[in-house]
Amino acid sequence: MARIRCEGVTKRYGSVLAVSALDLDIADREFMVFLGPSGCGKTTTLNIIAGLEQISDGEIWFDDRRVTLIPPHKREIAMVFQSYALYPQKTVYQNIAFGLRMRGEPAGRIAAKVKAAAEELEISHLLDRRPQQLSGGQRQRVALGRALVRNPAAFLMDEPLSNLDAALRVSMRTLIKKLHRSMGTTFIYVTHDQAEALTLADRITVMRNGVVQQVDTPEGIYNRPLNRFVAGFLGSPQMNFVEGEIREGATGYVFARGEFVLKLSPDIARGQSGRSVIIGLRPEDVDFISNRTEACAGRAMLVSPLGSEQHINVQTGDIELIVRAPKEARIVVGDQLRMTVDPRHVHLFDPATEMAIKSSS
Amino acid sequence: MSERSFLYRWQPLGRGVILALFSLLLVAYVAGPVAWLVSSSLQSEADITAVPPNWIPPKVMWGNFEAIFTAGQRTVTYENRYQGDPTAGRFLPSGAENLLPSVWNSFVVGLWVAVINLLVSITAAYAIAVIHFRGRQTALYSILITRVIPDIALIVPLFLVVRNLGLINTKLSLIITYLAVTLPFTIFILISYFEQIPRDLYRAARADGCSHWQALLHVYLPLSVPALIASLMFAFLTSWNEFIFALILTQNIDAQTLPIVISGFVMDFTTSFSFVNAAGVIAIVPPVVLAFLFEKYIVSGLTAGAVKG
């Protein structure tokens, strides 16, 4: 249990800046997810919080304790890794008990704690085996057990589910979420998988090139991205981006690029006529079975049915949009479609800074 | 039988024959001299020098070994020295009584070198491979570069240093010298081995509450047994076999090692090949025993299952 704060944390490897002036305040018992593409500095940040990397600048606090110079074994953290990192020469029992042994707990208490953790994770029957004899899912359960017997100040996870197959990943996700509930400990979870981030997190920190892009709730990150990178990184299929300009027409403000015209919310567009912008459209925000007058025309170029829904590539003017359609929609390649978007769902970005343009109200 | 099935049937056999042939050649090349050493140590001088040579002793003679083990009790005087006929067996070259003490010297020096070498190289390799401290590359290269200089070039300066320290003709001088020779190699072996151990195991150990010492003891060492044994053997055998430094730095049986004493048996007028070969057999026993003892540990694959896969 700890509130974890990073103040201006910077990490340089020679001339490479891995993490740049990171400010972060993770609340006690919060589930914080670091999300970003590989090489964005999220694992480095996790290592820094764990004390496994020395920082070049800044301070780290666990509650009121400054831990910047405290070595990892004195920080009371537990870690789970993508590679599981089980000690191959030890049995499952010894793996789970190791952290407690290092703290000099009496053997009786260790046995009781290991037993309880093994039962919670349903690995009681594996305690005498060695890691080589376990499947990937079982290994990851052992790794979780090793961390949760410890009652640490913070639980740090480095892509723990990335090596598991899709079905197992979903069930382990649920398990981790339950563990967070029952343990009441601060969790910091690194992933590049947006689905994991959105389902698990209380808050998400999106990183890129060592710089924090946005810290917000999953809902906030998804619906109110601060810049084009965040907008594009979350969502599958990706948000559509179209460059064009704002115009003031007879019916109000519109975004226009050739024949492609979209109505904009006057809150954002007021007084910006003539400004060139990038708009972002989530595939699910395009409603294209409509005969309203402001709808724009397009042609279905590709239909990808996914079972629960369909993804349609639509050509309109010189651009191609990916649009989500319900599974029952009967669309075939070549169909002429009419599309419309609720102006509230149109995201606007500045082409130069790529930052979101906020409504002035 | 079609041409194809003929090939299927005989091709593997042909390959087997070629493999066996070259394996035999290799074994003969490597083991031949050793076999001759052992065989000739059990032969009389006349049998050794016979043409064609006797690979199997026509008459097994234990006299050379008997002479070695009783050398201490026999006094070699000016008179009986010349009575001893090299061809008769039980011949004692002068200094034969030094043979067993020199085995002890070699053993003591080798053991100290192996143990100290292991302690130093484990900690040095852990620091360089695992702790990302500033200057670790420089540290590694400056250790390795010392081995670029040929030993022979170091002999005179080394002799002067050892003499000024007052360590000439001591085992300590040999231990120090052999450590300097073996450490760069064993540090290098262990660094490569430690670097193969997944870094996540280190991170896991530190998160589990291990200090650097504990991570080394509980995680790195148990996973590095093959490399540790290899280093131990390398250090011991290098020390056991070393000749040129021992020749320069020691003067008498207080510190002289086995290779020096054995080389002393080759004399100007009478050299008993059977005695020298018997001494040679004594010299190769400890390495062979070591190799057999540790053979099963020098198998890799201990890290299987540590990480995914």
Structural domains of chain A ordered from first start = 4-233 (3.40.50.300), 240-349 (2.40.50.140)
What global pTM score does this model have? Answer: 0.82
Q: Which residues contact A162 (CB under 8 A, 6 or more apart)?
A: A82, A191, A192, A193
Q: Is B64 helix (H, G, I), strand (E, B) or coil?
A: helix
Whether the per-residue pLDDT at B173 is higher than 60: the answer is yes
Q: How far is the alpha carbon of A77 from chain B, nearest alpha carbon, in Å?
A: 6
Whether residue B223 lies within 8 A of chain A, CB to CB, comes out as yes
Q: Chain A contacts of B307, Cβ < 8 Å?
A: 83-85
Domain ranges of chain B: 3-41, 98-297
Indicate the residue of A72, A77, A83 with minimum beta-carbon distance to B198: A83
Torsion angles phi and psi, residue A162, rounded to 5? -65, -25
User: How far apart, in whole angstroms, are the C-alpha atoms of residue A298 and residue A315?
Assistant: 5
Q: What is the ipTM of this complex?
A: 0.85
pLDDT, average across residues A221-249: 92
What percentage of chain A reaches a pLDDT higher than 70?
97
Six-digit token string for A164? 């598991």
Taking 3-state DSSP, the helix, strand and coil percentages for chain B, each rounded to the nearest 5, stand at 70, 0, 30
Please name which of B122, B77, B57, B125 lies closest in space to residue B281, comparing C-alpha atoms.
B57
Say whether A99 and B209 touch across the interface (CB within 8 A).
Answer: yes
Q: Enter the CATH code of domain B98-297.
A: 1.10.3720.10
Q: How confident is the model over B255-308, as pLDDT tens digits? A: 899 999 888 888 767 777 878 888 899 899 888 888 888 877 765 544 444 444
Q: Is A58 helix (H, G, I), strand (E, B) or coil?
A: strand
User: How far apart, in whole angstroms, are the C-alpha atoms of residue A201 and residue A234?
Assistant: 14
Search chain A and give the residue with CA nearest B223.
A89
Q: How confident is the model over A126-162, as pLDDT tens digits? A: 999 999 999 989 999 999 999 989 889 899 999 999 8
Whether residue B206 lies within 8 A of chain A, CB to CB, comes out as yes
C-alpha radius of gyration, chain B, whole number: 25
Whether the per-residue pLDDT at B81 is higher than 60: the answer is no
Positive or negative CA dihedral for B243, B246, B252, B254?
Answer: negative
Structural element, H or E, at residue A22: strand A16-26
C-alpha radius of gyration, chain A, whole number: 25
Contact B191, B129 (CB under 8 A): yes
User: How far apart, in whole angstroms, are the C-alpha atoms of residue B215 and residue A309?
Assistant: 51
Whether residue A78 lies within 8 A of chain B, CB to CB, comes out as yes
Contact A349, A280 (CB under 8 A): yes
User: How far apart, in whole angstroms, are the C-alpha atoms of residue A252 and residue A272?
Assistant: 12
Per the DSSP assignment, residues forming a β-bridge with A276 are A245
